[in-house]
Amino acid sequence: MVCLGNICRSPLAEGILKHKIRQRGLDWTVDSAGTGHWHAGEVPDGRSIAVARRYGIDITDQRARQFQPADFERFDRIFVMDTQNLREVLRLAREAEHRAKVQLMLDLTHPGQDRSVPDPYYDDDGFEVVFRMLDSACDTLFHD
């Protein structure tokens, strides 16, 4: 899960997906990162923590980190939150196999529409909307 600073959207996506994985007893590895380095080492934004908590998800153990080219080897799929993140991650991809792993998160619910998960950083009310978008997108990863 990749967004800009790894403190709002991608930590929510990571937390939501990990929660769903635990509920299903699956053994998947999920992580999140940002294309930028500004918040490396920080906990998620308090508003992301609060909205996740409302849904019984604790993301306080997460720490922001910057996306690295090695992530292409570590993960089978890389979901980005918006088209800017998509461009930045694809710029780091050196192989077609790596580029093929990268997908906009909302392509899961709106295939081919190139929709972005809005960055709620400057809109306190946006965190609930973003949570619902990410929750719905994560649901599509399961075939039960």
> In the chain, what are the domain boundaries?
2-139
Measured on CA atoms in the order 54, 125, 8, 141, is the torsion positive or negative?
positive
Q: Is 3 a catalytic residue?
A: yes
Report the CATH fold assignment for 2-139: Rossmann fold (3.40.50)
Between the alpha carbon of residue 1 and those of residues 5, 18, 101, 144, the distances in Å are 11, 11, 12, 22
9 is catalytic: yes
What pLDDT, on a 0 to 100 scale, did the predictor assign at position 144? Answer: 55
Instruction: Please indicate, yes or no, whether the overall pTM of this predicted structure exceeds 0.85.
Output: yes
Angstrom distance (rounded) from CA 77 to CA 50? 27
pLDDT at position 143: 76
**pLDDT confidence of residue 77:** 98
pLDDT tens sequence for the chain (144 residues): 999 999 999 999 999 999 999 999 999 999 999 999 999 999 999 999 999 999 999 999 999 999 999 999 999 999 999 999 999 999 999 999 999 999 999 999 999 999 999 999 999 899 999 999 999 999 999 975
Which residue among the candidates 8, 9, 45, 138 is catalytic per the annotation? 9
Catalytic residue among 45, 71, 82, 119: 119
Q: Quick check: is 139 catalytic?
A: no
**Other beta carbons within 10 Å of 71:** 18
